[in-house]
Amino acid sequence: MDLSRAIPRRAAVAGLALAVALSPAVLAPAAQAAPVPATARAAEAPAALPRPTGPHPVGGSTLHLVDSARQDPWVPAAGARQLMVSLYYPARPRAHGPTAPYMTADEARLLLRAKVPGSSVPPETISGIRTWAHPGARPAHGRFPLVVLSPGFTLPRATLTGLAEDLASRGYVVAVVDHLYETTGTTLPDGRTVPCAICDVPPDGGPAAVARSRAADLSFVLDRLTGAQPAWRYARMIDPARIGMAGHSLGGDATAVTMAADPRVRAGANMDGTFFEPVPGTGLGGRPFLLFSQASGVQDGTWNEAWEHLDGWKRWLTVAGADHGTFTDLPVLAEQLGVAKPDALPGRRSEALTRAYLAAFFDRHLKGAARPLLDGPSARYPEVSVRLP
């Protein structure tokens, strides 16, 4: 059985959203001109993520982490659990030089093969998307909160790049995690690109087991970034007393599971992910949690249960016109490749909403800043409805 079928709505829609975002075969309605094919658009100018909105330039690093105490849960023959992590951080002024690739060409090839079979989009069109992080840029002075991001099931960590870069520009260190064998493809430092091992054949325990495994991954990432001998050269930037976490789809469920087990995470957010592993009936120790969904997300009964169990500061945001991919880079890429759905929330609007509300949430709970955006309707973002306790 396909695991996406075991995730009735959200992870299945993730694949659909990606196909719509990348396929050049999408046709415009008869009343509109047909979109420019993706290959032609790419020839005119490479696609680019929106510029980060904060005051800091953005630096970037990549980490390969190995948990020698834990065997890989999905491919035991592979040995110890491995993770690839992209780090984004506030850099000093006048950071310059090349920007980081969006993903590797092999990752893009496997992404297209899995999500858009037969697509004529060259992998380089995806891997060459313009980002804003400068690899190895000198870090800004000071210590900053850490936010860890977990992507949707089957989706590579690159699909949260726009959010990660924006948070870094606003004064956060951001770690985006690829959970090995759970994405369409992950390139390792030795050059191998490892495909998904559980996308078509789900593990015992289904999506809840994946969420629990991810929670172990995410706590290990915290160990390696904030421990006595950190794995990252700029780990001194991180304030270990101010750690937040957010995830898209299954990554959102994994965020809550991590918080239930790991008191280091002070605030968490779920972006449109079903709670296959429920929020404990005892809550999350009074810590704040944000629910951020498409408008139809209110039909998901697991969210109603989670809402009742959340025992700290909480908000439930719904976005009119959104779909499952709204909280990722996918709508922006769809527009720039000329294949956006005509009735979809515009890509740059999707990115702006996601950035604004996630930043407001973490600013409030990791920086102690007043953010009234979270307390009711906003004339600037009328698409967003806010449910209060």
d(CA 133, CA 131): 6
Per-residue pLDDT at 339: 75
Mean pLDDT of 344-367: 96
Q: Is residue 303 part of a domain?
A: yes
Q: Work out whether strand 185-187 and strand 133-135 pair parallel, antiparallel, or are unpaired.
A: unpaired
pLDDT digits (tens, 9 = 90+) for 160-206: 999 999 999 999 999 999 999 999 999 999 999 999 999 998 899 99
- Give the containing element (helix H, strand E) for 384: strand 384-387
Per-residue pLDDT at 29: 25
Q: Which residue has the higher pLDDT, 369 or 297?
A: 369
pLDDT digits (tens, 9 = 90+) for 257-295: 999 999 999 999 999 999 999 999 999 999 999 999 998
Question: What is the total count of domains within the chain?
Answer: 1
The residue behind tokens 């075991």 is 6
Q: What is the CATH number of the domain that holds 297?
A: 3.40.50.1820
Q: Give the range of the structural domain holding residue 157, as residue numbers without chain letter.
A: 3-369+379-387
Q: Is residue 40 part of a domain?
A: yes
Per-residue pLDDT at 275: 96
- Give me the percent of the chain exceeding a pLDDT of 70: 87
Give the residue from 314, 317, 303 showing the smallest Cα distance to 354: 317
Burial of 311 (0-12, 13-18, 19+ CB in 10 A): middle
Q: Is residue 189 part of a domain?
A: yes
Q: How is residue 186 written in tokens?
A: 């992950």
Q: Is residue 199 part of a domain?
A: yes
Average pLDDT over the chain, rounded to an integer: 88
Considering 95-99, 342-346, 383-387, the range whose residues carry the highest mean pLDDT is: 383-387
Mean pLDDT of 41-45: 45
d(CA 240, CA 222): 9
- Give the containing element (helix H, strand E) for 362: helix 347-366
Q: Is residue 374 part of a domain?
A: no
Report the 3 state secondary structure along the chain: CCHHHHCCCHHHHHHHHHHHHHCCCCCCCCCCCCCCCHHHHHHHCCCECCCCCCCCCEEEEEEEEEEEEEECCCCHHHCEEEEEEEEEEEECCCCCCCCCCCCCHHHHHHHHHHHCCCCCCCHHHHHCCECCEEECCCECCCCEEEEEEECCCECCHHHHHHHHHHHHHCCCEEEEEEECCCECEEECCCCCEEECCCCCCCCCCHHHHHHHHHHHHHHHHHHHHHCCCCCCCCHHHEEEEEEEEEEECHHHHHHHHHHHHCCCEEEEEEECCCCCCCCCCCCCCCCCEEEEEEHHHHHCHHHHHHHHHCCCCEEEEEECCCCHHHHCCHHHHHHHCCCCCCCCCCHHHHHHHHHHHHHHHHHHHHCCCCCHHHHCCCCCCCCEEEECC
Q: Is residue 327 part of a domain?
A: yes
Burial of 320 (0-12, 13-18, 19+ CB in 10 A): exposed
